[in-house]
Amino acid sequence: MRYLISRNEELKEILVADLVLSIAFDLAFNNGMFSFNIFSFLYFLPIFIISTTLTFVLHELMHREVAQRFFGAIAAFRYSEQGLAFTFLSSLFGFFIGLPGATVIYDYLNKREEGIVSLAGPLTNFIIFFVFFAIGISFYPNFINNITTSFSNPFKLDYIQNMINITLYISLILAFFNMLPIYPLDGSKIFRWNKFVYLSFLVFLFLNMSYIIGLGLTIAYLIIMLFFALFSSILARAILI
């Protein structure tokens, strides 16, 4: 168990993790070091800072807030230096394995409490997805058809639409990935607490992903996510615990 840290120290660790993740997302988005383009990297960096802050930081802070506010637990976000290094190195090769750290609960929680705290993260991601989706369909014609364009031909779209597309996309992917029932992902704790809640929310996310990117691509993503989740689980046991 790592020692408790002050609010200032926790804020510093959140900001470091946020910045490293933002850069790693941007590098992976630009195919890493194999076809690196400084203009494209700098152009999209503000977008990834915004999307990472909204999707990753809020995800982790909601774990902390629910644990503290509803169950009186002491909780804080802690980064992992080894995990951040691995995250950055993976992005150089054009893919992304995020192991930035996690919210640490310093008190005992029973299965129900742990499940509710774990659900807070993916649920926050879905709310962010829904908000950005609502904004997108309100202001952009053919919005749904253009979501994946941000990843295939982003300069075809304006800057704001790319920000909306990337943020909602990452938020939905992060929610779905974290719901996989593989330790230490949130899904493993939610599944242990309440299988009905787990399956209902997982199916709900699956249907939303299928609507956004299509059933075939969603199934392909699920297979890839399972592989990365198992790989990340092995690494997390060695790095984060």
Predicted structure pTM score: 0.90
**pLDDT for 97-108, tens place per residue?**
788 889 999 888
pLDDT at 132: 97
Tell me the pLDDT band of 3, cut-offs 50, 70 and 90: low
* Whether residue 145 has pLDDT greater than 70: yes
DSSP assignment string, 52-88: HIIIIIHHHHHHHHHHHHHH---EEEEE-HHHHHHHH
Tell me the pLDDT band of 240, cut-offs 50, 70 and 90: low
- Stretch among 68-72, 115-119, 135-139, 166-170 having the lowest mean pLDDT: 68-72
40: buried, middle or exposed (CB in 10 Å: 19+, 13-18, 0-12)?
A: middle
* Whether residue 75 has pLDDT greater than 60: yes
Structural Rg of the chain based on CA atoms: 18
pLDDT at 2: 47
pLDDT at 14: 94
* Whether residue 73 has pLDDT greater than 80: yes
Alpha helices in 72-141 (DSSP H): 81-92, 111-139
Residue percentage of the chain with pLDDT more than 90: 72
Domains in the chain: boundaries: 7-239
* For residues 32-53, average pLDDT: 93
Distance (Å, whole) CA 107 – CA 52: 28
* For residues 35-52, average pLDDT: 94
Residue 179 tokens, joined: 């719901």
**pLDDT for 180-236, tens place per residue?**
999 889 999 999 999 999 999 999 999 999 999 899 989 998 898 888 888 777 766
Tell me the pLDDT band of 1, cut-offs 50, 70 and 90: very low
pLDDT at 58: 96
3-class DSSP assignment, residue 149 = helix
Residue 179 backbone dihedrals phi, psi, to 5 degrees: -85, -5
Mean pLDDT estimate for the chain: 91
Let me know: does 125 contact 55? Beta carbons within 8 Å.
yes
Tell me the pLDDT band of 35, cut-offs 50, 70 and 90: confident
